[in-house]
Each structure stands twice: as C-alpha cells, then as structure tokens.
C-alpha cells in the first residue's frame, strides 16, 4: 500500500479532531475524502503531510512509519500538499512560487516549469506577475503546480474547488487525469459530493473525526452518503 493510516488520532493541544482513522491509498489511486465543515478533513491532510505531528506508526508510507517525520521529510518522500486556501507566497511571482515547490524535488518525475505551463497555459502568460494578483482559480492552479514541482507520488488536494465558479472548477478538475497519467495517486478533499463521486476510485466520508462510510462510488447510495455525512436519524 502506498499510504495507510493506522488508527490515526490527531488534534490541536487537548482538543481531539480525529479518532482512530483507517484509510488506505494504493499507488495511482484517486481517493476522495468528503464530509461537512469541521468533520476533520483538513486535519487528516495536515497529519499525512506532517504539518501536524503524529505517533510514528499511525501513518505508513510503502509500509514504513512516517508519522513522526517533518513536513519537509514527507515532501521529500513524495507526498505533497495543495493546502486549503492556496497559501501562495504573496511577494513572489507565479514562476517563483512554482520554483519554491521544486526545492525539495524528487530526482525523477514528469514535472518541470514547462510541463506545468503545458498543464495550465494561463500560468505561462502570467508567470512574471505576483501570484496573489491572479484570479482565485488561477491561484489554485499555481498552488497545484507548486505541489507538482516536487514530483509527488501522492498529491493531497484540500478543497481545491472552494469558492470557485463552476466553470473554473471544471478547468481545475480537468487537470486531474493528466496528473494521474504520471502515475501519481491523489487524495481530494471535497465538500461537493457530486464532484467527489465523479473523480474518485474510492470515497471515505468523515463525520466528527471518524470515518462513517467508505466504498467505490458505484456502491454508495445517496441515502447512505447523506447519513454518513450528516448523521443518521
Ligand atoms: P472545513 O471544511 O471547515 O475545513 P474540515 O473537515 O477540514 O472542515 P478541520 O479543519 O479538520 O475540518 O477541523 C476539525 C476540527 O478541528 C474542527 O472542530 C475544528 O474547529 C478544529 N480545528 C481545526 N483547526 C484547528 C486549529 N488550528 N486549532 C484548534 N482546533 C482546530
């Protein structure tokens, strides 16, 4: 298994946000994590990416414990995150933002400035402009490109469609098949269930810090998802 969480608990100080999370991601797979506001989706992404520290054995990468590694060490192993809210470096140009993503680059891989500009041609046009001067959707493309510059084998995407117009969301999600063609696995965190079911091989639903449902999109009924998302009656 490329990535496995093993009864993962996480939180902030004494506040516990995740309780015994078990998820698995195989090489090349696309997983969607769905759930309401505050369900713990971002906390799960922060735990996997090493932004939040964990017990070593709670997260396994290719069978090896990585839960206690730093975010930089995890990036170096090929797990890159597109954080919620994009978090571009405000004083840097589009191209400088992308180059920063390449600093902890893995040796081999598909991605370079050129292939990212081929993926999102508008970024080539705007490469010299401050990243934060771009539209929301274009900034999201920069954030995705910045993560890809590390040549990840697992890309974590935290709410990449949040606050964007449907036509822009479509453009962003159109990049996903091309990212997967490189062999990378992807986890998308999505509040939009339809979008999640459309792109994912498998879905996990979180509610109040626990996995309440998992399966392939074709096996999950609307009612089951509704109950797992909002709680049963
Ligand atoms: P959203 O869609 O709102 O981002 P989420 O499913 O990603 O929701 P998290 O952001 O992981 O949920 O939050 C899970 C819980 O942890 C919530 O109760 C939230 O209030 C709490 N929380 C999140 N970040 C922090 C923090 N930095 N400090 C303290 N509590 C936090």
What percent of the chain stands above pLDDT 90? 80
The rounded distance, in Å, linking the Cα atoms of 64 and 215 is 25
Asked whether the beta carbons of 138 and 131 are under 8 A apart, the reply is: no
Give me the interface pTM, i.e. the ipTM: 0.95
Asked whether the beta carbons of 19 and 209 are under 8 A apart, the reply is: yes
Tokens 């902890």 found at: 104
Q: What is the DSSP letter of 198?
A: H
Instruction: Look up the pTM and report it.
Output: 0.94
Q: How far is the CA of 18 from the centre of ligand 1 (A)?
A: 10
Confidence of residue 192 (pLDDT cuts 50, 70, 90): confident
Domain ranges of the chain: 3-88+153-230
Ligand 1 pocket test, candidate residues 8, 12, 87, most atoms within 8 A of CB: 12
Atom in ligand 1 nearest the alpha carbon of residue 46: 11
Atom in ligand 1 nearest the alpha carbon of residue 42: 7
Q: How far is the CA of 160 from the centre of ligand 1 (A)?
A: 16
- Dump pLDDT digits (tens) for 13-59: 999 999 999 999 999 999 999 999 999 999 999 999 999 988 888 99
Atom in ligand 1 nearest the alpha carbon of residue 162: 2
Atom in ligand 1 nearest the alpha carbon of residue 44: 11
Ligand 1: residues with CB < 6 A are 12, 15, 17, 35, 37-43, 84
CATH superfamily of 3-88+153-230: P-loop containing nucleotide triphosphate hydrolases (3.40.50.300)
- Dump pLDDT digits (tens) for 15-28: 999 999 999 999 99
């Amino acid at each position: 298994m490329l990535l496995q969480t093993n009864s993962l608990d996480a939180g902030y100080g004494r506040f516990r946000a995740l309780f015994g999370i078990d998820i698995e991601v195989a090489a090349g797979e696309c997983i969607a994590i769905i759930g309401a506001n505050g369900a713990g989706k971002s906390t799960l992404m922060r735990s996997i990416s090493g932004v939040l520290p964990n017990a070593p054995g709670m997260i396994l990468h290719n069978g090896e414990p990585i839960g206690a590694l730093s975010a930089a060490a995890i990036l170096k192993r090929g797990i890159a995150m597109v954080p919620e809210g994009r978090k571009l470096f405000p004083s840097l140009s589009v191209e400088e933002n992308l180059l920063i993503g390449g600093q902890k680059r893995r040796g081999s891989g598909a991605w370079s400035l050129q292939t990212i500009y081929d993926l999102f041609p508008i970024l080539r046009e705007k490469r010299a402009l401050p990243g934060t001067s771009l539209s929301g959707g274009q900034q999201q493309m920069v954030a995705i490109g910045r993560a890809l510059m590390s040549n990840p084998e697992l890309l974590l995407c935290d709410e990449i469609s949040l606050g964007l117009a449907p036509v822009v969301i479509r453009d962003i999600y159109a990049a996903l098949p091309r990212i997967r063609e490189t062999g990378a696995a992807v986890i998308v965190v999505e509040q939009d269930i339809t979008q999640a079911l459309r792109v994912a091989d498998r879905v996990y639903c979180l509610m109040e810090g626990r996995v309440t449902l998992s399966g392939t999109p074709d096996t999950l009924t609307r009612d089951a998802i509704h109950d797992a998302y909002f709680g049963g009656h």
